Amino acid sequence: MFRIVTVIAIVIFNIVFQSTIVQDIAIGGITINLLIITVVSFSLMRGKLEGAIIGFFIGLMQDVFFGNVIGFYALLYMYFGFFSGYLNKALYRDNLLIPILAITGSDLILNLLIYIMTYLFRGRIDFAYYFMNIILPELVYTTLVSVFVYKFYLFVNEKLDGVEKRRENKDKI
């Protein structure tokens, strides 16, 4: 219960921060993608089902507030949450390499998909330009920030685990 409330709060604050504060600290007009960091982080820590659920709701929020159609980002983020959940078992808690690589890879694939689905289909074929000026900067920026954000989520997750364990013990007694 406590976990659910926390996760809902994190989802809401993600979409709020992403559309306000993160936009203010953009470098050269390019912003980090907080949403993909959150989705992949939680999926890695909690498994694919929880990852998919968080991904779906974060994507849905983005669709509702900024999307052109409902369901596009919800679908994308849900699949990212789901598939990065497969790395859950391959993960040591304190190893940062796999999570960061997963986040970087996801952000790359996400942006490629967005480009193909919404730009290429409208005849914007100058892929090199979009890659060098939007995808790559966002990738670098997101990767750098993800180190800190992932550590923060790891900390939150550990706290939540602690709370849950204490509750369980209380129930047993």
Partner 1 sequence: MKRRKNLPAKNIMIVITLICILAIIFTWQSRSSITPIEKSFSYVVIPIQNGVNVVGDWLGEKVQFVKDIRDLENINETLQTELNELEYANKILQMDKTELVRLRELYTLDKRYADYPKIGAQVIGKDPSNWYKMFMINKGEKDGLKVNMVVLSGEGLVGHITEVGPNYAKVQSIINDTCNVSAKILRTSDLCIVKGDQTLVNNEALCRVDYIEDRANIVIGDEVVTSHLGSIYPPGILIGTINQIDTNSPKMTRTATLQPAVDFKHLEEVLVINQVWEDGLTEAADVQ
Q: Considering only residues 13, 148, 152, 155, which one is a binding residue for partner 1 as defined by CB under 8 A?
A: 13
Any contact of residue 148 with partner 1 (CB under 8 A)? no
Compare residues 94 and 123 and give the one whose CB is closer to partner 1: 123
Any contact of residue 16 with partner 1 (CB under 8 A)? yes
Between 98 and 117, how does the x/- string for binding to partner 1 read (CB under 8 A)?
----------------xx--
Per DSSP, 20 falls in state T
User: Smallest distance, Å, CB 4 to partner 1?
Assistant: 15
Phi, psi of 62 (to 5 degrees): -65, -40
| Distance from C-alpha of 62 to C-alpha of 70, rounded to nearest angstrom | 9
| Distance from C-alpha of 19 to C-alpha of 132, rounded to nearest angstrom | 23
User: Is residue 87 a contact partner of residue 56, using CB atoms and an 8 Å limit?
Assistant: no
Per DSSP, 39 falls in state H
CB atoms within 10 A of CB 171: 7
Binding site for partner 1 (CB under 8 A): 12-13, 15-24, 28-31, 33-35, 48-49, 52, 56, 61-62, 64-66, 68-72, 74-75, 78, 82, 114-115, 118-119, 122, 124, 126, 129-130, 133-134, 138
